[in-house]
């Protein structure tokens, strides 16, 4: 008899990749509606503005949050092209694939980039970074808070202090951390906090988000030349959207103009996603991700697997684990998806053939998703001939949930 395909009855795999993530049902429902007119005041005042104001809580900022069509990369590029002019010096910390992405984006906007390389999965040497920042005297320092390619969380508060000490803007990629790991925009002195909708915010893919500090606005206003993009120059939002009482140019109560037409369905979904985050409360949400990330790691280790990065950097939203020596990670991903209906990721780039990555973001940071994922991983590894005691990973994760949750 042929083997049973357990995924046959599912219409889609459960997303345990590091984004996009599973969506709460009310977020899915929010998109099930006829089109709204994006330039209608009822949308601006009834949906978009309340959403960006509510997002301030999630970003932990008193400044403006800009929502735009796009993704994490749009947010990074909009941040970069808005404040950086050709020839500006930028110090870019590169500890993985997304650090390299930031370096590329900066190079494209004409920055004179100095890379601060960090071995993948290894700690950031803050004293050495401080010395480099004092030598380079950059206009901006960039960091990927949670390096999704290696499953690491870097000390953003410390890097913020380094930036402040040399008078540099602090540009932080929080694509895989915001709303899952504590991100304190104002307290850490983040000038541009750039993220996307589809990870820990648990909203659909399609929106870029940037929180902008006063210093970042000043940097935009004191440019020698206008930014070369119209739609993605963040300054347009100050000129066309933000009211005078919030530091913008639009008289309070007057109609505003979105510099780029907003996707109304996605904005509605984001509004609900943010409501859910506020209802849960940030402290509970961060603790939930911490316990869930810990339980997943306990399960992986009980299966005899080893985490890729340094233990002090383990991320609670993305786990990057070494595959067993004799097993091809892409075969594990295929087996888990095709036979058990759960999608995880391989590593990226130079660790693609040696690691696996599992996301625990938004609603997937829960026993409901983590225990079946470990169970399916055990089955898939056994299918591929790897020795693995059935239930060991699930039992360890269950125990971790029982102990801390």
Closest CA relative to residue 169, chosen from 127, 216, 202: 216
Which is closer to ligand PLP, CB of 181 or CB of 377? 181
**CB-CB neighbours of 328 under 10 Å:** 14
Residue 92 C-beta: closest distance to ligand PLP, Å: 13
Rg (CA), the chain: 22
Which is closer to ligand PLP, CB of 188 or CB of 217? 188
Which is closer to ligand PLP, CB of 154 or CB of 401? 154
Residues 114 and 92: beta-carbon distance below 8 Å: yes
Residues paired with residue 355 on neighbouring β-strands, in sequence order = 322
Which is closer to ligand PLP, CB of 98 or CB of 217? 98
Give me the residue whose beta carbon is nearest to ligand PLP: 72
C-alpha torsion sign, points 324, 372, 177, 100: positive
Which is closer to ligand PLP, CB of 148 or CB of 193? 148
Residue 73 C-beta: closest distance to ligand PLP, Å: 3
* Cα three-residue angle 340-345-349, rounded to 5 degrees: 150
Which is closer to ligand PLP, CB of 17 or CB of 227? 17
Residues that bind ligand PLP (CB under 6 A): 19, 71-73, 98, 101, 144, 148, 173, 175-176, 196
Residue 361 C-beta: closest distance to ligand PLP, Å: 10
Contacts of 279 (CB under 8 A, 6+ apart): none
Residue 379 C-beta: closest distance to ligand PLP, Å: 27
Cα distance between residue 378 and residue 368, in whole Å: 17
Residue 389 C-beta: closest distance to ligand PLP, Å: 33
Residue keyed to tokens 């993704």: 71
């Amino acid at each position: 008899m042929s083997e049973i395909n357990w995924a046959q009855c599912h219409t889609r795999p459960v997303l345990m990749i590091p984004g996009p993530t599973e969506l709460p049902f009310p977020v899915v429902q929010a998109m099930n509606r006829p089109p709204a007119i994006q330039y209608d005041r009822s949308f601006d005042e009834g949906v978009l503005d309340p959403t960006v104001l509510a997002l301030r809580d999630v970003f932990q900022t008193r400044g403006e949050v800009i929502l735009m069509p796009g993704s994490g990369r749009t947010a990074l590029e909009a941040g970069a092209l808005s404040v950086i002019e050709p020839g500006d010096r930028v110090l870019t910390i590169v500890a993985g694939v997304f650090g390299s992405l930031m370096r590329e984006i900066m190079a494209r906007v004409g920055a004179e980039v100095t890379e601060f390389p960090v071995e993948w999965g290894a700690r950031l040497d803050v004293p050495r970074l401080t010395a480099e920042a004092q030598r380079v005297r950059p206009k901006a320092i960039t960091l990927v808070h949670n390096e999704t390619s290696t499953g690491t969380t870097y000390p953003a508060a410390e890097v913020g202090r380094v930036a402040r000490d040399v008078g540099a803007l602090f540009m932080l990629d929080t694509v895989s951390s915001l709303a899952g790991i504590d991100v304190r925009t104002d307290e850490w002195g983040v000038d541009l906090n750039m993220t996307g909708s589809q990870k820990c915010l648990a909203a659909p893919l399609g929106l870029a988000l940037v929180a902008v500090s006063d210093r970042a606005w000043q940097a935009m206003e004191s440019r020698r030349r206008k930014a070369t993009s119209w739609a993605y120059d963040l300054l347009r939002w100050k000129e066309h959207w933000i009211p005078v009482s919030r530091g913008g140019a639009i008289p309070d109560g007057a109609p505003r103009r979105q510099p780029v037409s907003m996707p109304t369905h996605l904005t509605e979904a984001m509004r609900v996603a943010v409501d859910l985050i506020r209802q849960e409360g940030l402290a509970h949400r961060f603790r939930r991700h911490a316990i869930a990330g810990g339980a997943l790691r306990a399960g992986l280790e009980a299966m005899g697997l080893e985490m890729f990065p340094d233990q002090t950097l383990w991320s609670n939203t993305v786990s990057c684990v070494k595959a067993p020596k004799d097993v091809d990670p892409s075969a594990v991903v295929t087996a888990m998806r095709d036979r058990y209906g759960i999608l995880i990721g391989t590593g990226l780039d130079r660790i693609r053939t040696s690691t696996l990555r599992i996301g625990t973001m938004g609603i997937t940071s829960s026993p409901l998703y983590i225990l079946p994922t470990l169970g399916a991983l055990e089955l898939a590894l056994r299918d591929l001939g790897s020795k693995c005691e059935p239930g060991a990973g699930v039992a360890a994760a269950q125990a971790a949930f029982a102990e801390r949750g």
